[in-house]
Chain A
Amino acid sequence: MSQKASAKYLKGATGDWEIVIGMEIHAQVTSQAKLFSGASAEYGGAPNDHVSLVDAAMPGMLPVINEECVRQAVRTGLGLEAQINLRSIFDRKNYFYPDLPQGYQISQFKHPIVGEGMVIVDVSPTERISVGIERLHLEQDAGKSMHDLSPTESHVDLNRSGVALMEIVSKPDMRSAEEARAYVSKLRTILRYIGSCDGNMEQGSLRADVNVSVRRPGEKLGTRCEIKNVNSIRFIGQAIEVEARRQIGILEDGGVIAQETRLFDPGKGETRSMRSKEEAHDYRYFPDPDLLPLEFDQAYVDGLKAQLPELPDAKRARFIEQYGLPPYDAGVLVMERASADFFEQTAKGRDAKLAANWVINELFGRLNKEGLDVAQSPVSAAALGAIVDLISSNVISGKIAKDLFEIVWSEGGDPAEIVAARGMKQVTDTSAIEAAVDAVIAANPDKVEQAKAKPTMLGWFVGQVMKQTGGKANPQAVNDLLKRKLDV
């Protein structure tokens, strides 16, 4: 693990500055029902379709914990190598807002379900950092207020009200926008592997509150500002950059940073104040008397641990070890569980490095271009494996293989059959190649003379032979024959 800190400093007018970043990620728990009610937690639906009596906070309604959400939180905690608390407590966070029907959010304040943990983040092919996890707790999402449907009224959609969120709080361990982006990306990967959050930032399943402060290298932490609800990895990076620049500007002008909550405006590329510390709510947290403390035993945790899928770090290590892949390639392949699975199916019983090249360069490249994910790939792992086989056994050249990939991508079909049917087979039969070589030599006596004086002319002969054979001749065989016949 390397921490090339000095390279990350921001240059100000008066010297270097270090950015310090911590994050609170709100990840929607993958579950059928909401955290404390049986209403559907599905995204979408007509406004107020997914609302139970509990979600609407009708008089006398009581919350009942959804065990699936507890299970997912524990699994996630295990994925973050975190302390799992066998006893945790739900608290009420009290404030008034129209999309908060109870007048309080049920959350966990002093005693979260998950304590300290850690995430290993690959910032670049050559740099890994470790980001500490402070805690993970379960809480309810709020509904949605819409202020633009009428000039005189606001509308409220409670479909999301009560949906389970995991709030994952990091330690202030990140030092650049790049590290922060890589952290969110890695966290998202872990969540998706575990299946506890779909990680869909566009639908709001994953949102980030970013805490940013700056300081002179080596000095104590500066005053932080919290940028609320940033909903894409790109915006997280942008928000950090502009916020750090804003703070440096203030400090270099002799000012002080006011602790406050800010919003990032991607359109204007700036953050602006939402509320100051003085305006901060007094949430009057206290244990929710409607809910007993959440308790389970170690055997429950152990059972969930035993059933966890292989997580990205372990998979990456195995890919390096088992397939001899370069760490960077292994890292790319394990970003998504589906990609890693696709690779393993492609590589099974084959040249794994060649398979990795084809998966990463050809397949992922093409998928990216088309905006598809691996599950939607028109080329199956079996088909790509067959292409790799044809290359490995010298049936086709790498160049022909690219043409073949195109055909399989757009038309489908069995690669070996396509090669046979369309005469794409590489000519390795030396007698056939020899005939073509002889014909070219016989037709170009002047060039033969030149070649004897200047051996680099060999390339011209290779080109001619390939032309004659329609590109199917094995280039190595052509080369060897020409060398021998021209005696160069």
Chain B
Amino acid sequence: MSELTHLTLAQARDALRSKKISATELTKAHLNAMEKARLLNCYITETPELALDQARQSDARLAEGNAGPLEGLPIGVKDLYCTKGVRTTAASRILDHFTPTYESTVSSNLMRDGAISLGKLNLDEFAMGSSNETSAFGPVVSPWRRRSDPEAKIVPGGSSGGSSAAVAAHLCLAATATDTGGSIRQPAAFTGTVGIKPTYGRCSRWGIVAFASSLDQAGPITRTVRDAAIMLRSMAGHDAKDTTSVDLPVSDYEKAVGQSVKGRRIGVPKEYRIEGMSPEILQFWDQGVAWLKDAGAEIVEISLPHTKYALPTYYIIAPAEASSNLARYDGVRYGLREAGRDIADMYEKTRAKGFGSEVRRRIMIGTYVLSAGYYDAYYVRAQKVRSLIKQDFDLAFAAGVDAVLTPATPSTAFAQGEQGSNDPVEMYLNDVFTVTVNMAGLPGIAVPGGCAANGLPLGLQLIGRPFEEETLFALASAIEQAAPKIEYPKPWWA
């Protein structure tokens, strides 16, 4: 059965359509793999009965020739997406046993197209983290192991660490994820998977637990560029329930995969050569440049002068919005409630117990930067810098650049406990190459490019013009073709 889980999403789709396999056997293969992989802690909630029930319905539709674009394809859903009748946790204690009566727009788009949900994937609490270590349901273990010390538990990145690990470990064909400062691209880079954060407004945010509303965006994590294109086509689209979603037609992204990139202009930003970057990452970046050049793209050096302010600015805006977005978790209407002497005491006890330390830290930072006397110095200035960051990209694109190539992360994955335990900023630095993209609302894709000397994967990032995801799929597939094929780890956990 294991070869079924090793199909790509596209291969599985074609095999289902040609009736070589059934949705039920494909689903069972994945459920079986999930059962053996509990050590990795990818799923917070597994929904085997629901999955098998959906698989039966998919088989019936496939038999009738009435199949949707994703008919019968088992996927995992990040547990930040509200799912009707299925517990949704945001990896936090504060939601307790919260079971939504509604389905997020993006997950319901996927179900509409025939996808089967295997369960809810682990993440950093409220998507706040870069290693999946802040989850109230325990960290996710990456299927990848370091050559030097194979016993060390490697992190899958975050916040979509359950998604990236489950895809890399073949525990689903694809997964939904979300990205506020790099939460799709960084875990994809850490696990040798593909992750795209589309343009802000491309996917509806309705029904996804909010972290930072002006930055949050849904996207997929998959094993191939083609699979990402297939997933995004179903996930994207205008939604009247989210006024920040954009009413533009959704292209058939799959058609862009494998398209020639000849003559495409690729900008290489000099400011991304940050101090202390390992020579291995720099070399890998140069390799990416060479691959695209070989594929016929034109390479130009560009300047994005405000890059160095992106991370500090991000850590003002994102916590500010989060401090307000998370105010609704107050113990009054749903989720955890800790009894108190009075209402203020109840709030304090509930929120102290319900939120983990990283979430509390960000709520406090956010409350601080919005408070009277500090608002102008922090929040207002951060918004101004944000405009400048966006302007940097606008100027590069106006000068004819089609996409920007950068490393996805400043390092390969690390082991649990290795980063951020003494200084949270150390962990925040993981997002240094990815946050600019959220700040500017642009699409960004992480694509694997091989492995480092330590045996762990490395990812490149391509940043595109607003709503030109097709360009990213074409360029990413050129890299995918040129790069050494990713050999996902053998299931040492099973």
Closest Cβ–Cβ distance, residue A488 to chain B (whole Å): 88
**Which of the candidate stretches B147-155, B202-210, B229-237, B453-461 sits at the interface with the other chain?**
B202-210
**Which of the candidate stretches B247-255, B264-272, B366-374, B486-494 sits at the interface with the other chain?**
B366-374
Nearest to B327 among chain A residues (CB) is A103
The answer to whether B241 touches A64 (Cβ under 8 A) is yes
The answer to whether B90 touches A59 (Cβ under 8 A) is yes
Known: A60-B210, A290-B243, A292-B244. A282 touches B328 (CB 8 A): no
The answer to whether B324 touches A103 (Cβ under 8 A) is yes
Known: A60-B104, A61-B206, A98-B343. A104 touches B332 (CB 8 A): no
Residues of B within 8 A of A60 (CB): 81-82, 100, 104, 205-210
The answer to whether B370 touches A284 (Cβ under 8 A) is yes
Known: A98-B343, A289-B321, A290-B213. A282 touches B379 (CB 8 A): no
Residues of A within 8 A of B418 (CB): none
Is the CB of B212 closer than 8 A to any CB of chain A? yes
With the chains together, A289 CA to B243 CA distance in Å?
10
With the chains together, A197 CA to B307 CA distance in Å?
50
With the chains together, A289 CA to B330 CA distance in Å?
21
Is the CB of B333 closer than 8 A to any CB of chain A? yes
Is the CB of A435 closer than 8 A to any CB of chain B? no
Instruction: Tell me the total A-B contact number using a CB cutoff of 8 A.
Output: 97
The answer to whether A101 touches B367 (Cβ under 8 A) is no
Of residues B81, B207, B327, which shows the largest number of chain A Cβ atoms within 10 Å of its Cβ?
Answer: B327
Is the CB of B320 closer than 8 A to any CB of chain A? yes
Is the CB of B428 closer than 8 A to any CB of chain A? no
Is the CB of A200 closer than 8 A to any CB of chain B? no
Known: A103-B324, A286-B324. A58 touches B100 (CB 8 A): yes
Closest Cβ–Cβ distance, residue A60 to chain B (whole Å): 4
Is the CB of B375 closer than 8 A to any CB of chain A? yes
The answer to whether A94 touches B206 (Cβ under 8 A) is no
Residue from A63, A64, A92 in contact with B240 in the complex, judged by beta carbons closer than 8 Å: A64
* B: number of interface residues (CB 8 Å): 44
Known: A56-B333, A284-B371. A94 touches B209 (CB 8 A): no
Is the CB of A201 closer than 8 A to any CB of chain B? no
With the chains together, A285 CA to B376 CA distance in Å?
11
Chain B, 368-406, CB within 8 A of any chain A CB: 370-372, 375, 379
Nearest to B80 among chain A residues (CB) is A60
Is the CB of B14 closer than 8 A to any CB of chain A? no
Residues of B within 8 A of A103 (CB): 324, 326-328, 330
Is the CB of B347 closer than 8 A to any CB of chain A? yes
Residues of A within 8 A of B242 (CB): 62, 64
Residues of B within 8 A of A96 (CB): 327, 330, 344, 347
With the chains together, A286 CA to B343 CA distance in Å?
25
The answer to whether B90 touches A62 (Cβ under 8 A) is no
Residues of B within 8 A of A102 (CB): 327-328
Closest Cβ–Cβ distance, residue B343 to chain A (whole Å): 6
The answer to whether B367 touches A284 (Cβ under 8 A) is yes
The answer to whether B370 touches A98 (Cβ under 8 A) is no
The answer to whether B88 touches A282 (Cβ under 8 A) is no
Nearest to A290 among chain B residues (CB) is B213
Residues of B within 8 A of A382 (CB): none
* Contact bitstring A55-81, B, C-beta under 8 A = 1, else 0: 011111111110000000000000000
With the chains together, A442 CA to B241 CA distance in Å?
94
The answer to whether A286 touches B379 (Cβ under 8 A) is yes
Further contacts, 11 of them, CB under 8 A, given A96-B327, A101-B328: A53-B102, A56-B333, A59-B100, A62-B243, A92-B324, A94-B324, A96-B330, A102-B328, A104-B327, A284-B324, A284-B367
The answer to whether A292 touches B243 (Cβ under 8 A) is yes
The 3 closest A-B pairs by CB, nearest first: A103-B327, A289-B214, A289-B213
The answer to whether B370 touches A286 (Cβ under 8 A) is yes
Residues of A within 8 A of B333 (CB): 56-57, 101
Closest Cβ–Cβ distance, residue A54 to chain B (whole Å): 9
Nearest to A95 among chain B residues (CB) is B327
Residues of B within 8 A of A301 (CB): none
With the chains together, A63 CA to B208 CA distance in Å?
13
Nearest to A59 among chain B residues (CB) is B209
With the chains together, A62 CA to B210 CA distance in Å?
9
Nearest to B346 among chain A residues (CB) is A98
Closest Cβ–Cβ distance, residue A32 to chain B (whole Å): 17
With the chains together, A65 CA to B244 CA distance in Å?
12
The answer to whether B104 touches A57 (Cβ under 8 A) is no
Residues of A within 8 A of B347 (CB): 96
Nearest to B370 among chain A residues (CB) is A284
Known: A59-B209, A103-B327. A94 touches B370 (CB 8 A): yes
Residues of B within 8 A of A290 (CB): 210, 213, 243-244
Chain B, 319-350, CB within 8 A of any chain A CB: 320-321, 323-324, 326-328, 330, 332-334, 343-344, 347
With the chains together, A94 CA to B209 CA distance in Å?
19
Is the CB of B174 closer than 8 A to any CB of chain A? no
Chain B, 64-122, CB within 8 A of any chain A CB: 81-82, 88, 90, 95, 98, 100-102, 104
Is the CB of A457 closer than 8 A to any CB of chain B? no
* Contact bitstring A372-396, B, C-beta under 8 A = 1, else 0: 0000000000000000000000000
Residue from B81, B241, B243, B324 in contact with A291 in the complex, judged by beta carbons closer than 8 Å: B243
Is the CB of A367 closer than 8 A to any CB of chain B? no
With the chains together, A96 CA to B329 CA distance in Å?
10
* Contact bitstring A32-66, B, C-beta under 8 A = 1, else 0: 00000000000000000000010011111111110
Residues of B within 8 A of A104 (CB): 324, 327
Residues of A within 8 A of B324 (CB): 92, 94, 103-104, 284, 286
Chain A, 306-330, CB within 8 A of any chain B CB: none
With the chains together, A61 CA to B210 CA distance in Å?
8
Residue from B323, B328, B344 in contact with A57 in the complex, judged by beta carbons closer than 8 Å: B328
Residues of A within 8 A of B208 (CB): 60
Closest Cβ–Cβ distance, residue A213 to chain B (whole Å): 23
With the chains together, A479 CA to B324 CA distance in Å?
85
The answer to whether A58 touches B375 (Cβ under 8 A) is no
With the chains together, A73 CA to B327 CA distance in Å?
29
Residues of A within 8 A of B95 (CB): 59
Nearest to B367 among chain A residues (CB) is A284
Is the CB of A156 closer than 8 A to any CB of chain B? yes
With the chains together, A92 CA to B372 CA distance in Å?
14
With the chains together, A104 CA to B334 CA distance in Å?
17
The answer to whether B375 touches A284 (Cβ under 8 A) is yes
Closest Cβ–Cβ distance, residue A362 to chain B (whole Å): 55
Residues of A within 8 A of B206 (CB): 60-62
Residues of A within 8 A of B243 (CB): 62-65, 290-292
